[in-house]
Structure 1
Amino acid sequence: MKRASFLRGVGALALAAPSIVWAQGAWPDRQIRMVIPFAPGGTTDLLARAVGQHMAQVWSQPVVADNRAGANGVVAGEIVAKSPGDGYTLSMVAMGHAINPLIYRKLPYDGDKDFTPVSLVATFPQLVLVHPAVKANTIAELIALAKSSAKPITYASGGNGSSQHLAGALFTHMAGVKMTHVAYKGGNPAQLDLMAGNVDVMITQPNSKDLITSGKMRALAVSSARRSAFYPELPTVDEAGVPDYQSVAWYGLVGPKGMPADLLARIAEETRRAAATEAVKSIVAQQGGDVAASTPAEFTAFIDAERQRYAAIVRDAGMTVE
């Protein structure tokens, strides 16, 4: 079954396989909803559908894609938080899941208590990208330009609290420079405006390596702690002059609170198996990322660490909203 045809309309039927049995009876005996906090076509959506396809094949039940974009994942988060923890509602989340409790003073859910982390799925280094007209070929030159330019240097993001916003705010904080944040409704519009020259900088996963090799954007460095095998020629931001800088985009599976331990273990195990499939590995490889499946406990600790790491950045950058 091709990924492009998976979950069209209301869902996709799976191939025959034994159902999972847990303490309270046969599971699953009906369709599972995969809530996706962003619009179709992005990395979160593609990973959710690929993981869902694997689960549908193994569990012989449809896994239905339910895209609920809005408020950096808050709209989808509320749906998941108010669902029963019976394994029939899952969600592929991104960095905003960990950071939203820092940004929004009033959330319709508790960011810790109302969710059950299942497994990390993948991490992606982001690239420091500039429009070709920006007179900076290195991180050091970008920092110097930001400090000397009479016109404020702008950096784009897919929205308040997005991975691009956090990466940019962390960069300005650690590099000791000021750049003006320009928020868009999604990473794709932001990237298009970068290519059009309407903004100067963006720290993100480019939609395609061709955008760089064709000269539509110029890459200065990778945001991860180590160099990317996909862009081996690029230094890390740390190597390029901002010591200890690190910011990666990540994606993982969560469910509502109250999931029974044995059911959670089964879903986590199948998520890890899904992450090892060619469908998921292909999505990750195409964007220079790494498969990073984990246990529920490891993913819980990862989310906590991310929230702690960005707490001061969110506060100092004034990201908090009512």
Structure 2
Amino acid sequence: MAQRSKYDELHDRYHAILSTKAGTRYEMLAAMVFKSLEDKNTVIHHLQLTGDSDVPHQIDVSIEKNGKAWRVIIECKDFDISGDKVGLDIVRNFRSVVEDTNADEAIIVTCTGYTRDAQKYAKAKNIKLAVLRGAEERDMEGRIKTVVVNLHIQSAKNHSMTMNMSEANRDLFAAECLRVGITGGIHIMHPVFLVRGAERHQFTSFMSDKVNSSPAQKLPSGLYEVRTLPDGWSLQVESGPLIQFDLISTTYEMGVQTIELNITSDRIAEMILAGVGDHDILIFDDQLQQRKIDAETGEIL
């Protein structure tokens, strides 16, 4: 069995094709990559273009930008098995295709690199040389893999409440609480309410909302205090008489809980593209997975 390029293996992890032609899978990977870079472009694999010479040329990857107003043609060379670099002859031959088809932009893509003469000639003829290869661990150096987020959650704890009211109202409130069996503190299930006109709220629930929504004053003791003025509110136990108060002072400690979250992406870097922009571009598994090819037109979808 003939040796397979690692890019054949990479392609077949995401898409299946019947072709056994060498380099076809690398061409399709390149087409998917260029489609992922700019989704609105029309990218076609294996396009036949007839040049000014009336000779048809097989273009590995063609990109149409702005509705055919700008055409990019791409020559792909999978030299993974041989390890050879793209030489001058390949660049020179491709240049003749560029001229014959009047392409606006020309790119050669390989996985192994280019000879010095190929680089000099391509630069002189305005042909871009790109490298599209498998991503390696070294490509991740200097890149963010994991984001550590420290959440500092502040919460009030150890509440203490003081009610300022006249002595007569204090005695009345205590008697009303004893009448319904309340001794000690007031809890969420106790029938103690704050009443103002048609409004009626359970006392503990109301005070918790007040602490959570009102600005607190830090006391010299280190405690925090929220003051609740009457503002038309009265106390009521069950359905007993309305009881006036002057001030309810709620003091509490501020607890701080720190939670560390490590957020790591589950995306897998499969390929890296260099030479078409200002920096190297990582290509991830989901970018290859989401692409499809139209069997009739060769368009990457």
More helix by share: 1
The structure showing larger relative contact order (alpha-carbon pairs under 8 Å, at least 6 residues apart) is: 1
Max radius of gyration: which structure? Answer: 2
Q: TM-score, normalised by structure 2?
A: 0.27
The structure with more strand, counted as a fraction of residues: 2
